[in-house]
């Protein structure tokens, strides 16, 4: 039997502090029953003390809950089973955090309608950009259904996830056939497990499935045969998989088929599919990650950063109501620092989901600790100026800004079949954190980290603070010793791991920093590619000017001489040298902090995290020396602090 940990669902010592006489569930549906079961398995229900009541209250919003304590009884009110389940987990979370019974009260409604995880799991069991083992859904073209499937549902619903796409957006081989029997019957078993937890299952589809299966000659979305094919296929899919939400589609991107082949727009492609799933209440989630990946690096005009905006803003308002555009947080591709994509604030009449990435493709691949909630908070809090009020990214993806229903937050997940699910134990904070943030965007990155720690470790306040320090400074540390000031991409091609300053410089992917002997960066102002002008006016003005452009994004928007003085008074080159030294020092400190916790942590966790932190420490020096030496050789400018460069 495969081994796996229970992570934050593991029995917390605080659960034993209270006794409850019984749990009573009024008008229980299948999901409320799960809530009851979860409470029973965690708490002491031994006939003593107060009771826990799961009651129906139609006045509470769908998926919301209200927790009250009367005497020594707890009442969880909700209008739906999902509300009960989220409420039950809130009770457990609060007890785990050490609250007294009378302190356990909360009213909550999720900030976002869709709170989704995207798996990039392939049918052969590999995971694209996966760093935690192989898939627990697929192996050698077969579908896996076992104890882990259910435990995964428990884990993610405990933090409020309500939607999962189980296969990679690059749909190939057997995965193309998932929309047909015999796969449908097996997939329906996964969806039935999910259903008990109020989680809808979704699939990624291959836009040219009918052609690749040899059933049609074309995938033209306006062709009558294609329309009929998708309508009958979707009828069968929804008939077989009861708890099915719809499809996620990567089209015309990185070699995947799409409507462009037939001279059709993405709206025509998405709407054709939306009509096929519409009768069953399904949605089409259409990704905006569309760009030319066969660019000539000599071409100075094309700017990949513009691509999603240029492709999709002309289509605003042309998508059917059950189409949702899924948009990566930045205009490029999950770099350690990117501006928020101007599509947020550019689109006003289209449902939108933001796509984050918690699998750490460009942020250390779970061999470096990099807690991503501070980055996600920055993105969600970004003011787009698309309206006078309610204009942040969080307002848009929650559906509040434009009064939309099909909206939300997705993340490319970081899970695999490793015993601890996420490879690096500390990377579990990203899985936990993303989901909590999706449920409640008001939470701070710090609050989320503390919650996670209280449920994961048994540390006193001072010890917890030291782990918090690691988590909260890890993103900035990673940024400091890798690529500077928003430039990104200085990684090895293909695997995206480790330093390689010119790795993507003369390649076809549209990802250039253009470092020369005197300057670096891409002029994206009106004098350059014009990308900065795509934002609404206030932001466009801010980015247009070197002096007002946030410095952490300076080289994303501007081409700047190495001798340019930053606000700190340092030259650009000195800033690069300094941050790389500081970042590596910070990574070394993580090891020291962790070592002090030796006697306070389970030994396996202590050791495996220590190994990774030590790797990170060494690897950060590799980053520091390669990047700094690269710039030293390009510029010939010495480090004013006289440190060793090569």
Nearer to ligand GCV, 125 or 583 (CB): 125
Residues numbered 320-359 forming contacts with ligand GCV, rule: CB under 6 A: 333
Q: Which is nearer to ligand GCV, 226 or 491 (CB)?
A: 491
- Pick between residue 284 and residue 480 the one whose CB is nearest to ligand GCV: 284
Cis peptide bond upstream of 182, omega within 30: yes
Phi, psi for residue 245 in degrees, rounded to 5: -100, -25
DSSP-assigned states of every residue in 83-136: HHHHHHHHHHHHHHTT--GGG--EEE--S-SEEEEE--B-TTS-BTT--SSS-S
- Least distance from C-beta 128 to ligand GCV, angstroms? 5
CB count in 10 Å sphere of residue 411 = 26
Q: How far is the CB of 407 from ligand GCV (least distance, A)?
A: 20
Out of 361, 391, 479, 523, which one is annotated catalytic? Answer: 361
Q: Which DSSP helix (H) or strand (E) runs through 272? A: helix 266-277
Q: Which residue number, 256 or 624, has a Cβ lying nearer to ligand GCV?
A: 256
Residue 128 contacts ligand GCV per CB under 6 A? yes
To ligand GCV, the closest distance from the beta carbon of 359 in angstroms equals 10
Which is it for strands 560-561 and 52-56: parallel, antiparallel or unpaired?
Answer: unpaired
| DSSP letter string, 432-495 | HHHHHHHH-TTS-HHHHHHHHHHHH----HHHHHHHHHHHHHHHHHHHHHSS-TT----B-TTT
Please tell me the distance from the alpha carbon of residue 575 to that of residue 378, in angstroms, as a whole number: 22
- 48 in Cβ contact with 22 (< 8 Å): no
Count of residues of this chain found to bind ligand GCV when the rule CB under 6 A is applied: 10
Which residue among 103, 254, 592, 622 is the active-site one?
254
Q: How far is the CB of 117 from ligand GCV (least distance, A)?
A: 14
> Given the structure tokens 């102002």, which residue do they identify?
525
Least Å from the CB of residue 411 to ligand GCV: 12
Nearest Cα residue to 255 out of 207, 214, 211, 302: 207
Residue placing its CB nearer to ligand GCV in the complex, 272 or 491: 491
Closest CB to ligand GCV among 121 and 195? 121
Q: In the complex with ligand GCV, which residue's Cβ is closer, 76 or 290?
A: 290
Residue 133 CA to residue 620 CA, distance in Å, equals 24
Q: Which residues are registered as beta bridge partners of 142?
A: 139
Q: Give every CB contact of residue 233 below 8 A, 6+ residues apart in sequence.
A: 179, 180, 209, 210, 276
Q: Is 121 in the site for ligand GCV (CB under 6 A)?
A: no
Residue 131 binds ligand GCV (CB under 6 A): no
CB-count exposure of residue 81 (10 Å: 0-12, 13-18, 19+): buried
* Burial group, residue 212, by CB count within 10 angstroms (0-12, 13-18, 19+): middle
**What is the rounded distance in angstroms from the CA atom of residue 580 to the CA atom of residue 84?**
48
Q: How far apart are CA 291 and CA 509, in angstroms?
A: 9
Tell me whether residue 254 is one of the annotated catalytic residues.
Answer: yes
Residue among 167, 186, 87, 80 at smallest CA distance from 122? 167
With beta carbons less than 8 A apart as the criterion, state whether 487 and 572 touch.
Answer: no
List phi, psi (to 5°) of 439: -75, -40
Closest distance between ligand GCV and the C-beta of residue 168, in Å? 6
> Taking CB under 6 A as the rule, does residue 250 contact ligand GCV?
yes
Residue choice 20, 120, 131, 489 for contact with ligand GCV (CB under 6 A): 120
Catalytic annotation present for 622: no
Reduce the DSSP state of residue 258 to 3 states and report it: coil
* Residues in CB range of 462: below 8 A, 6 or more apart: none
List 38, 252, 333, 355, catalytic entry: 333
Element (H, E) at 622: helix 603-635
Q: Which of residues 251-270 bind ligand GCV (CB under 6 A)?
A: 254
x/- track of binding to ligand GCV for residues 74-113 (CB under 6 A): ----------------------------------------
How many CB atoms lie under 10 A from the CB of residue 49?
A: 17
Closest CA relative to residue 279, chosen from 239, 251, 310: 239
Catalytic site residue 361? yes
Least distance in Å: CB of 523 to ligand GCV? 24
Q: Spell out where 222-322 has E strands.
A: 244-249, 283-287
Nearer to ligand GCV, 9 or 169 (CB): 169
Residue 247 touching ligand GCV (CB under 6 A): no
Q: Between the CA of residue 552 and those of 8, 143, 486, what are the distances in Å?
A: 34, 44, 6
The distance of closest approach from Cβ of residue 37 to ligand GCV in the complex, given in angstroms and rounded to an integer, is 36
Query: C-alpha 512: how far from its chain's center?
Result: 25
Handedness of CA 33, 38, 41, 44 (dihedral sign): negative
- Encoded one letter per residue, x for contact with ligand GCV by CB under 6 A and - for no contact, window 280-319 reads ---------x------------------------------
By beta-carbon proximity to ligand GCV, the closer residue of 276 and 327 is 327
Binding mask 140-179 for ligand GCV (x = CB under 6 A): ----------------------------xxx---------
276: its two tokens? 């096929």
Q: How far apart are CA 584 and CA 580, in angstroms?
A: 6
Q: Does 491 bind ligand GCV (CB under 6 A)?
A: no
Q: Does 129 bind ligand GCV (CB under 6 A)?
A: yes
Catalytic residues: 254, 333, 361
Binding site for ligand GCV (CB under 6 A): 120, 128-129, 168-170, 250, 254, 289, 333
């Amino acid at each position: 039997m495969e081994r796996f940990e229970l992570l934050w669902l593991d029995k917390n010592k605080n659960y034993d502090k209270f006794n409850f006489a019984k749990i009573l569930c009024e008008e229980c549906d299948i999901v409320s029953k799960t809530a009851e079961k979860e409470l029973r398995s965690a708490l002491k229900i031994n006939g003593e003390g107060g009771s826990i009541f799961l009651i129906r209250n139609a006045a509470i919003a769908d998926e919301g809950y209200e927790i009250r304590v009367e005497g020594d009884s707890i009442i969880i009110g909700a209008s739906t089973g999902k509300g009960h389940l989220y409420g039950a987990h809130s009770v457990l979370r609060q007890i785990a955090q050490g609250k007294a019974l009378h302190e356990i009260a909360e009213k909550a409604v999720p900030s976002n309608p869709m709170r989704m995880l995207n798996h990039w799991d392939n049918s052969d069991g590999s995971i694209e950009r996966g760093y935690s083992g192989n898939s627990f859904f697929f192996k050698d073209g077969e579908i896996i259904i076992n104890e882990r499937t259910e435990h995964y549902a428990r884990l993610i619903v405990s933090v409020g996830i309500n939607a999962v796409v189980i296969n990679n957006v690059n749909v190939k081989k057997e995965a193309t056939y998932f929309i047909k029997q015999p796969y449908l019957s097996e997939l329906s078993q996964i969806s039935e497990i999910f259903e008990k937890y109020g989680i809808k299952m979704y699939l990624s589809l291959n836009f040219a499935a009918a052609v690749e299966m040899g059933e049609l000659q074309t995938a033209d979305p306006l062709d009558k045969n294609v329309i009929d094919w998708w309508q009958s296929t979707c009828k069968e899919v929804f008939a077989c998989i009861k708890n099915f939400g719809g499809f996620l589609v990567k089209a015309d991107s990185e070699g995947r088929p799409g409507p462009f082949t037939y001279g059709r727009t993405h709206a025509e492609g998405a709407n054709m599919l939306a009509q096929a799933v519409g009768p069953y209440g399904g949605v089409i989630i259409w990704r905006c990650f569309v760009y030319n990946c066969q660019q000539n690096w000599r071409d100075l005009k094309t700017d990949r950063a513009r691509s999603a905006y240029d492709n999709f803003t002309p289509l605003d308002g042309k998508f059917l109501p059950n189409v949702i555009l899924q948009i990566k947080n930045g205009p490029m591709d999950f770099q350690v620092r990117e501006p928020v994509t101007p599509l947020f604030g550019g689109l006003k009449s289209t449902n939108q989901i933001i796509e984050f990435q918690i699998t750490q493709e460009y942020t250390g691949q779970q061999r470096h600790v990099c807690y991503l909630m501070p980055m996600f908070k920055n993105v969600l809090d970004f003011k787009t100026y698309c309206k006078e009020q309610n204009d942040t990214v969080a307002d848009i993806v929650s559906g509040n800004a434009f009064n939309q229903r099909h909206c939300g937050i997705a993340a490319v997940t970081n899970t695999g079949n490793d015993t601890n699910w996420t490879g690096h134990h500390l990377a579990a904070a990203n899985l936990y954190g993303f989901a909590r943030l999706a449920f409640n965007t008001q939470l701070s990155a710090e609050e989320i980290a503390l919650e996670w720690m209280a449920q994961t470790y048994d540390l006193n306040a001072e010890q917890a603070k030291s782990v918090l320090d690691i988590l909260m400074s890890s993103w900035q540390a990673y940024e400091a010793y890798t690529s500077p000031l928003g430039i990104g991409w200085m990684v090895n091609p293909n695997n995206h791991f480790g330093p390689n300053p010119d790795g993507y410089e003369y390649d076809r992917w549209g990802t250039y920093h253009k470092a020369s002997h005197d300057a670096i960066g891409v002029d994206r102002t009106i004098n350059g590619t014009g990308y900065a002008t795509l934002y609404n006016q206030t932001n466009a003005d801010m980015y247009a000017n070197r002096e007002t452009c946030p410095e952490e994004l300076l080289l994303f928007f501007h081409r700047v001489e190495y001798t340019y003085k930053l606000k700190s008074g340092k030259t650009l080159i000195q800033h690069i040298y300094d941050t790389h030294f500081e970042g590596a020092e910070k990574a070394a400190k993580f090891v020291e902090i962790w070592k002090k916790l030796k006697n306070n942590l389970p030994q396996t966790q202590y050791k495996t995290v220590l190994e990774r932190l030590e790797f990170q420490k060494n690897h950060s020096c590799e980053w520091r020396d390669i990047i700094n030496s690269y710039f030293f050789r390009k510029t010939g400018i010495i480090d004013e602090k006289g440190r060793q460069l090569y």
